[in-house]
Structure 1
């Protein structure tokens, strides 16, 4: 499992280096739905299980290769719709079935490892698929300067326990998904990438739905002593999260 986590999101910087965001305004103006067509619809629409990827859901490398250029545009658009920046160095992406389908397809296309690789990819990414009672996120810290990045990550020990969603007087605490992997080193340096889930009770799901419907403020907060920031979630993202929790 560890080797697959180190390869997650191959186009993002897993070392914590801040990726360029000059392309963001272009893609933020495009709805992901614009890219879906008769030739390619949301993978979720044909999923045997909306909460789990199966081998039957994954295309052959040859089929994916034929549409890869267009599909990467879809993936980028969906990802930007579901990403929020929290403070100067953190970005958080709310994962969903389609994004993890793209991730699995892309890794199989890159490595061409056949059925054995596909099985390992599904074992790695299925724990990140939302199941109707939780939201799942990828937290990334991005700092350009290597020395500053090292110092910054060394100041954020156990940050993976410092995320929460705040809405209408409620707080849903985030917790790391892969609790069998130590994301903070014995020296106190945290990883640049974390996988965080927010588990909702029935009452919290109802309160979240009411807050979004009423236009109340919904915030995603990082409450670490050395990195205390929050972002207000808005628009399309909120509607998608309500849908994730009703699936």
Structure 2
């Protein structure tokens, strides 16, 4: 996927006019890009459109319109767009109750280093987590992590040929597995085109 350039973005004024329709488009687009890993962890697989939305929202919230500042946002977010040999995801740890979330984030320290993808016939591949900065310390983890899953050409070929694809957490406090299926499988495999 091509990285975003300044010319791909709406101006603040144009985005204000298009935001409602653009947001609806992106939310519908995200539906087949989300993988639930158990009850409390989800992986939202990013692509060019989801990242454009994140950038547009940052520009809107921060009222950024200077070229240099826009380039800084592009530099920060473009690495989250997959580049043909990988999938990139925002991992969300979700607990509605604030106190329950605090306890869980303390219990799940290091979970980002225990997330894998397995294509049948190939060894599991551990996600590369938080390349931009550490989001965990010895007492708690963050509710948001950024993951990169590197696939070999053989893994992509096997998945396209129908091999089972499974995401998993091997963290001792959160053992979960989810098979990639249906429209989500089709959508994510298209990211390798």
User: For the superposition of Structure 1 and Structure 2, which TM-score range results when normalised by the shorter chain?
Assistant: over 0.9
Residues 1:166 and 2:113 are matched in the alignment: no
Aligned 8 A contact 2:109 2:138 in 1: no
Q: How many residues align structurally?
A: 191
Which of 163, 182, 187 is matched with 1:235 structurally? 182
Deviation at 1:172, TM superposition (A): 2.4
Query: What's the TM-score once normalised by structure 1's chain length?
Result: 0.73
Q: TM-score, normalised by structure 2?
A: 0.92
Aligned to 1:224: 171
Q: What residue is the counterpart of 1:74 in the other structure?
A: 25
Report the Cα distance in structure 2 between the residues aligned to 1:85 and 1:198, rounded to whole angstroms. 16
1:138 aligns with 2:85: no
Contact 1:108 1:117 in 2 (8 A): no
Q: How far does residue 56 in structure 1 lie from its aligned partner after superposition?
A: 1.5
1:107, 1:150 → 2: CA distance?
Answer: 26
Q: Which runs of 5+ in 1 are unaligned?
A: 1-49
8 Å CA contact 1:163, 1:223 repeated in 2:
yes
CA apart distance, 1:75: 0.9
User: Secondary structure, in 3 states, of the residue corresponding to 1:237?
Assistant: helix
Within 2, Cα distance between the matches of 1:183 and 1:103?
Answer: 19
| Aligned partners of 2:46 and 2:82 also within 8 Å | yes
Residue of structure 2 in register with 1:43 after alignment: none
Name the structure, 1 or 2, with higher relative contact order (CA <8 Å, separation 6+). 2
- Separation (CA, whole Å) in 2 of partners of 1:198 and 1:109: 30
* SS of corresponding position for 1:245: coil
Aligned-residue RMSD, C-alpha: 1.5
1:169 and 1:204 mapped to 2: Cα distance? Answer: 8
Map 1:86-235; keep pairs closer than 5 Å.
86-114=37-65, 115-170=67-122, 171-178=124-131, 180-187=132-139, 189-211=140-162, 216-235=163-182
- Distance (whole Å) between structure 2 residues aligned to residue 51 and residue 186 of structure 1: 37
Q: Distance in 2 between matches of 1:155 and 1:220?
A: 21
Q: Output one character per residue of 1:191-231: Cα deviation in whole Å (capped at 9) or x when no partner.
A: 100000001122222122222xxxx4322111111101111
| Uncovered stretches (5+) of structure 2, i.e. residues with no partner | none
Distance in 2, Cα, partners of 1:233 & 1:201: 17
Distance in 1 (CA, whole Å) between partners of 2:152 and 2:37 is: 25
Residues 113 and 129, structure 2, Cα contact 8 Å, conserved in 1: yes
Q: For the Cα contact (< 8 Å) 2:136–2:142, is it kept in 1?
A: yes
Whole-angstrom distance in 1 between the partners of 2:114 and 2:54: 26
